């Protein structure tokens, strides 16, 4: 009874809070002082037509560093949780273990190989998906997109490959090296902004170039390239770890 009353009180308080937020909400009809500064000075100072990119990458570069760090911690946590531990199997399996073993055999026996259509589609679409991901993070300063979006698209290509061709293998060494070098290079570019420009991830230590062109906005295309590669390979590593863990459970239960 006390537990139910406590839950009811919590829900009532949350309802009051959200009701006040919803009833007092009104759309802003004008920009704030900081917003005016970004709109007026952003294109001139940063050289990026995409103002969102200018804010996220340069003005609030430490936030982007925090997001990259969170992604790294998440990937490391997945690797830690899925790490294979060697345990000595019991001498006599229990009835539950025997039923699980028989169920796993049935599941494995029902697995079907990908059809020729799926394999051919994978060979055709996978390069396009990766190329589109590269396009998204390379043009993040000109159009909607960026490093995280492009990296997620590249990782979706990896997931497509693993689903269509389960027997395919990803190079752990290549993934680890590319992900590590991308993250390290990202931090190096940020430090160069501190040393040669006005702050961390300040893109103006490189020439801003011609406004609106691909190679413009200083170091932003370089920053987004490193972020896109890091996100793409890090998410691909997570997908590969899940696949390997699933395969190890299936083979261990047979």
**What is the C-alpha to C-alpha distance for residues 132 and 150, in angstroms, rounded to an integer?**
8
74: enclosing H helix or E strand: helix 61-81
**What is the C-alpha to C-alpha distance for residues 164 and 121, in angstroms, rounded to an integer?**
9
Task: Give me the pLDDT at residue 139, please.
Answer: 92
* pLDDT grade for 251, boundaries at 50, 70 and 90: low
Q: Model confidence over 175-215: pLDDT tens digits?
A: 989 999 999 999 999 999 999 988 888 899 999 989 989 88
Q: Model confidence over 91-140: pLDDT tens digits?
A: 555 555 556 555 555 544 445 666 788 888 888 999 999 999 999 999 99
Angle between the 61-81 and 220-253 helix axes, to the nearest 10 degrees? Answer: 10
Average pLDDT in the chain: 83
**Which residue's entry shows tokens 């229990």?**
94
Other C-beta atoms lying within 10 Å of the C-beta of residue 179: 21
Are 205 and 199 spatial neighbours (Cβ–Cβ below 8 Å)? no
Q: Is the pLDDT of residue 247 over 70?
A: no
**What is the C-alpha to C-alpha distance for residues 143 and 51, in angstroms, rounded to an integer?**
10
- Judged by DSSP in three states, 161 sits in helix
Token pair recorded at residue 83: 């790490």
Token pair recorded at residue 188: 């190096």
Q: Model confidence over 205-244: pLDDT tens digits?
A: 999 989 989 889 999 999 999 999 999 999 998 888 887 7
**What is the C-alpha to C-alpha distance for residues 216 and 212, in angstroms, rounded to an integer?**
7
Q: Model confidence over 45-103: pLDDT tens digits?
A: 899 999 998 888 888 888 888 888 888 888 888 878 877 554 445 555 555 555 655 55
Task: Give me the pLDDT at residue 103, please.
Answer: 57
Task: Give me the pLDDT at residue 86, please.
Answer: 44
| Closest by CA position to 236, among listed 160, 182, 165 | 160
Q: Where are the domains of the chain?
A: 46-78+115-247
């Amino acid at each position: 009874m006390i537990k139910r009353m406590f839950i009811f009180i919590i829900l009532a308080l949350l309802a009051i809070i959200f009701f006040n937020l919803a009833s007092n909400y009104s759309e802003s009809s004008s920009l704030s002082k900081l917003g005016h500064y970004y709109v007026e000075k952003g294109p001139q100072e940063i050289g990026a037509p995409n103002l969102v990119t200018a804010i996220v990458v340069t003005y609030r570069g430490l936030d982007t560093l925090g997001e990259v760090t969170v992604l790294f911690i998440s990937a490391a946590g997945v690797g830690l949780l899925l790490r294979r531990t060697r345990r000595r199997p019991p001498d006599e399996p229990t009835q539950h273990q025997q039923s699980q073993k028989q169920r796993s055999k049935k599941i494995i026996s029902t697995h079907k190989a990908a059809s020729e259509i799926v394999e051919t589609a994978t060979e055709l679409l996978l390069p396009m998906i990766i190329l589109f991901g590269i396009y998204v993070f390379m043009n993040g300063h000109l159009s909607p997109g960026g490093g995280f979006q492009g990296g997620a698209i590249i990782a979706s290509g990896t997931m497509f490959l693993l689903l269509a061709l389960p027997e395919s293998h990803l190079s752990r060494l290549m993934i680890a090296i590319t992900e590590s070098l991308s993250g390290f290079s990202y931090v190096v570019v940020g430090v160069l902004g501190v040393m040669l420009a006005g702050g961390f991830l300040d893109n103006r230590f490189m020439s801003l170039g011609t406004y609106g062109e691909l190679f413009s906005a200083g170091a932003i295309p370089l920053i987004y390239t490193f972020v896109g590669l890091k996100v793409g390979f890090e998410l691909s590593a997570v997908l590969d770890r899940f696949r390997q863990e699933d395969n190890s459970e299936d083979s261990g239960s047979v």
